[in-house]
Chain A
Amino acid sequence: MSTDNDDLTAAYLAELEREAARLPWNARAELLEDVRSHIEVALAEMREADEAFGDGSAPADEAAQVRAMLRALGEPREIVAEALADVAVDVDGAGDVAVAGDAGSELGRSASGQPAWGRSEVGQPAVDRPELGRPELTSPYPLGTQEIFAILLLLAGGLLFGAGWIAGVLLLWNSDRWTTRDKLAGTLIIPGGYATLLYALTVPVNWSLPTWLGAPLLLLAAAAPAATATFLFRQARHHPGTRPTAPTSTTTRIVLSLIGGIATIMAIGLVAAFVSVGSSSGRVHPDHGSLTTDYIDGPGPTSGYVAPMKSPVPPSSSDSTSR
């Protein structure tokens, strides 16, 4: 109503928000929402009462009421301390479905005001579930859209002609759910994700690696992106971050749509180029795996011998041509 009272409550909420910076974001979001709602409701009821009983309540009177209401709420520091004690208990007691879960979804309370009793996750144990399946139900901290996209794009985004992987890297570094160490790991193991492996397997090269070196490398390239994704998923789940990412931040949306646009354009262009090249010369024949075929047909475990990529003609085919 009067701006003075708005100032009072705004100052109180601002202080609460400052104090609540110590809380994980989902606990903080819930606390702020609860206290903000408390103030709104209390103010509304105050006015109702005024209208019902006293007519024409003086603004000064109302300011005093607002002050009393805020005083009754207590020091923001004290409230946050209480919340902090609970969070500490939650993190220690691994058995509980911890802080998040439905905090995010309830905050988006869809204004319809429809009752949502009986949340489906009630009574579900907080044991690990299939990862990325339904991350909003896993504990302790669910991944935001940004984190999920980051991990997926790092894994497979490279297949979108590299652009997707770059988007993944941007999202990774933009998130506060990972430490710098996590982000470095996510970026460097392995740049390009599975696209790199696919590239290594399908694009013919003029050199080859000896089996003793190539085979472990291939295994590594196959396992590393999945391991990194799992690692990132775990890290994000155990690190709440300091700002709410749910459901989708504007930055995320902008980055995703930008990259999506670029990827589409590149995809169209590259497909067109590929088609024209493919029709002009039948040369492009990614005969499966410069690396893999070598392991099978190649010179075996004679270490140090670098097999020339294209030269060794399989004996069976040379037989057939000689005949």
Chain B
Amino acid sequence: MEPGGAAKAVSQLRRGVLEFCVLALLRDGERYGVELLRDLAAVDALVTSEGTIYPLLSRLRKEHLVETAWRESPTGPPRRYYKLTPTGEKALAEFSTEWRRFRDGVEYFLSANGSVEE
């Protein structure tokens, strides 16, 4: 396989999975953009450039997976808060189940190959 293959696959995976990480971050309550990004950035390898999260959030809103509201802040500028909708919760639950099966499947093959080679 060409050397760029892994990077490309991971980037596509990330693109598909990131929105569910965002939904998961909102599971415990509403957050505003900067806050969300801080949490996402705490984990390596998920977000490369933070700004791309805003188009993603905008898409989640259009798909009614999240709701947004502008709130005044006592100290700074107003913030746009994001909150999970019931639809979003459902989507997140479904993905969690699917993801575990997917992850286990991939793990099975990857580790099997590893053990053969070693």
Which residues from chain A sit less than 8 Å from chain B, CB to CB? 27, 30-31, 34-35, 37-38, 40-42, 44-45, 48, 72-76, 78-79, 82-83, 85-86, 89-90, 96-99, 101, 106, 109, 111-119, 122-123
Complex contacts, A85 vs chain B, CB 8 Å: 55
Which residues from chain B sit less than 8 Å from chain A, CB to CB? 32-34, 37, 41, 48-52, 54-59, 62-64, 67-73, 75-81, 83, 85, 87
Query: Complex formed: what's the CA distance from A86 to B53 in Å?
Result: 12
Residue in contact with B62 in the complex, picked from A78, A97, A117, CB distance below 8 Å: A97
Residue in contact with B67 in the complex, picked from A89, A101, A109, A119, CB distance below 8 Å: A119
Query: Complex formed: what's the CA distance from A119 to B61 in Å?
Result: 11
Structural contact, B55 and A37, CB atoms closer than 8 A: no
Residue in contact with A35 in the complex, picked from B48, B54, B77, B81, CB distance below 8 Å: B54
Shortest CB–CB separation between residue B102 and chain A, in angstroms?
Answer: 22
Shortest CB–CB separation between residue A313 and chain B, in angstroms?
Answer: 68
Structural contact, B51 and A73, CB atoms closer than 8 A: yes
Chain B at the A interface: SS class: mixed
Query: Complex formed: what's the CA distance from A85 to B73 in Å?
Result: 32
Structural contact, B63 and A109, CB atoms closer than 8 A: no
Number of A-B contacts (CB under 8 A): 110
Residue in contact with B33 in the complex, picked from A30, A38, A72, A99, CB distance below 8 Å: A38
Shortest CB–CB separation between residue B90 and chain A, in angstroms?
Answer: 13
- Of chain B, the residue at the smallest CB distance from A73 is B51
Query: Complex formed: what's the CA distance from A115 to B63 in Å?
Result: 19
Chain A at the B interface: SS class: helix
Query: Complex formed: what's the CA distance from A9 to B100 in Å?
Result: 42
Could you give 14 example pairs across A and B, Cβ below 8 Å? Answer: A34-B57, A38-B50, A38-B54, A41-B76, A44-B75, A44-B77, A79-B49, A82-B56, A83-B55, A96-B62, A97-B62, A111-B72, A122-B67, A123-B64
Structural contact, B50 and A74, CB atoms closer than 8 A: yes
Structural contact, A78 and B70, CB atoms closer than 8 A: no
Complex contacts, B52 vs chain A, CB 8 Å: 74, 78-79, 82
Query: Complex formed: what's the CA distance from A97 to B62 in Å?
Result: 6
Q: Known contacts A76-B51, A82-B56: does B33 contact A34 (CB below 8 Å)?
A: yes
Q: Known contacts A41-B32, A72-B50: does B78 contact A79 (CB below 8 Å)?
A: no
Query: Complex formed: what's the CA distance from A76 to B51 in Å?
Result: 8
- Of chain B, the residue at the smallest CB distance from A32 is B54
Structural contact, A109 and B70, CB atoms closer than 8 A: yes
Q: Known contacts A86-B59, A106-B68: does B51 contact A79 (CB below 8 Å)?
A: yes
Complex contacts, B87 vs chain A, CB 8 Å: 123
Structural contact, B77 and A41, CB atoms closer than 8 A: yes
Structural contact, A79 and B63, CB atoms closer than 8 A: no
Complex contacts, A44 vs chain B, CB 8 Å: 73, 75-77
Shortest CB–CB separation between residue A8 and chain B, in angstroms?
Answer: 15
Residue in contact with A31 in the complex, picked from B55, B68, B80, CB distance below 8 Å: B55
Structural contact, A109 and B78, CB atoms closer than 8 A: yes
- Of chain A, the residue at the smallest CB distance from B85 is A122
Q: Known contacts A45-B34, A109-B70: does B76 contact A40 (CB below 8 Å)?
A: yes
Shortest CB–CB separation between residue A70 and chain B, in angstroms?
Answer: 9
- Of chain B, the residue at the smallest CB distance from A83 is B55
Shortest CB–CB separation between residue A78 and chain B, in angstroms?
Answer: 5
